[in-house]
Amino acid sequence: MSIYQAPLRDMQFVMFEVFNLEEELKQLPAHAETNRELIDQVLEEAGKFASEVLFPLNQPGDAEGCHYDQATKSVTTPKGFKEAYQKFVEGGWAALACDPKYGGQGLPIVVNNAFYEMLNSANQAWTMYPGLAHGAYECIRAHGSTEQQQAYLPKLVSGEWVGTMCLTEAHAGTDLGLLRTKAEPQADGSYLITGNKIFISGGEQDLAENIVHLVLARLPDAPLGTKGISLFIVPKFLPKEDGSLGERNPIFCGAIEHKMGIRASATCQMNLDGAQGWLLGEPNKGLAAMFVMMNAARLGVGMQGLGLTEVAYQNAVVYAKDRQQSRSPSAHKPNQAADVIIAHPDVRRMLLTARALAEGGRALATFIALQIDKELNHPDETIRKDAEDLVALLTPVVKAFLTDNGWIATSEAMQVFGGHGYIAEWGVEQYVRDSRINMIYEGTNTIQSLDLLGRKILLDNGAKLKKFGKMVQDFVEEYGTEEAMQEFVNPLADIGEKVTKLTMEIGMKAMQNPDEAGAAAVPYLRVLGHLVFAYFFARMAKIALDKQDSGDDFYKAKLHTARFYFARLLPETAMLIRQARSGAQNLLAMEASLF
């Protein structure tokens, strides 16, 4: 009963009208020949793959789940998943944004990002399998030796092999400094790795012929804590010199988790019993190397939140236009007993909430992806550095704000369905269940908030934040005198000033008591997320105002959504700012024994 169509029109609007993508790419030598016609063709085919191949597998895959065979320690994915993966590989989708040097198509990250929004809308659980492979590719490309790059990257790019990140251990959780997995050096330059990892997405599966595990472990006599962690490549099957598969490496799945959501994604307990691995990067600097993959994963999880926001919204709209229930005082038709529920004000509120969160999230995600392309490819060092700083600043916002919003949007969509939303056949309850994990893994949203406030803002005295603030200020100064823009520019300027003041206030308090930053971090991130959304909605509103009489109703709808955002969603910041200012005392004064 569920539906999904890729939101191509809005993607094109954000790319080409808001961010002027075609002109931006001309400044990047690696992508100077990538024009709109090509991008539109890729996105159209990507949308077909998502809606026609992956989406029909989403509900049945959730109902079936993965199967674990204790005797062989193997995992079988739900019916149709393997065939869909083969179509993914045959279509060249795994290679979309990869370096042509390794067989990639060399398209910009911003295009790949849009593709992954579609995949996550269509089938988040399936998408996790190839999604992690791209992170492994980026990590080996950044830190691997020439031999490692030649051995692993072409296979990851083609999709013949996939990847995982083996970080977490049962006793450690997010605190990776506590991990115990050991790596013993061997005479041939390899290491034998022994330990146990948990919550490893795609740690075992039947889609690809090999799995490249990136494993965090400790060398003998390594320093305690995070300073003593190294990173290793540990393949499921040891590759031969000709690229073919050799003997099975003793890294096995001991069990799979039975979960609230993403049931078709195999979440594995992995046991390493002297598995052969090779050091990736420098000894005892594995966490820094792994951050390449971790940051890619955090952006990817943000896209999961955005993807579910969009698909939940689409289904709620279809239902609201069809479902008749109760009479609307202003829109009631005398010849029928009840009106379609989209006529009711609060149903409109729920739909517009999900719509605004999707459109704001899409603008943010596109912006970040474009900054990554600039960071990697722009010939001007200053522009590369500015892009790098914006990516660092906004990565925790993408991960936490978009996944919080995904939880809000899927819940609102489920509410539109009423009692039917709680029933599996309509599909929306799966989006609610699937969305909840996105706030937890790849660093909980609290950890993202601590990273944002502590490392990305206070640690450099707000230098990165000022770069984004300058963009906001420039927009306000350019359009602040236009009468038609007052309803957007004034609240944008206001929240910008409040973020600056709040940041300084928290920074001063944290100098006296570090707990003040921890107490303020979560509401602070959400306030900053709204500043980012307000900026992008103001930019989108400017374009929509200029084109509202063009005859294209898209711009009228965009303008309505922007007005709703500023009137109904941005005011959340008043409460959040009061929470952030309330300090640590109301959290810590109560003795632990009284809980």
Tell me the C-alpha distance between 124 and 312, whole Å.
13
CA nearest neighbour of 562 among 547, 584, 576? 547
Are the beta carbons of 235 and 210 closer than 8 angstroms? yes
CA nearest neighbour of 480 among 537, 534, 536, 538? 538
Measured in degrees and rounded to the nearest 5, phi and psi for residue 217 equal -155, 170
Are the beta carbons of 541 and 419 closer than 8 angstroms? no
Are the beta carbons of 129 and 162 closer than 8 angstroms? yes
Token representation of residue 135: 């992170």
Token representation of residue 437: 């994990």
3-state SS of 110-148 is HHHHHHHHHHHHHHHHHHHHHHHHHHHHHHHHHHCCHHH
Which of 442, 483, 572, 591 is the catalytic position? Answer: 442
Burial class (CB in 10 A: 0-12, 13-18, 19+), 551: exposed
Token representation of residue 517: 């930053």
Confirm whether 24 is a catalytic residue: no
How crowded is the C-beta side of 188, counted as CA atoms within 13 Å?
6
Are the beta carbons of 361 and 402 closer than 8 angstroms? yes
Which positions are annotated as active-site residues?
442
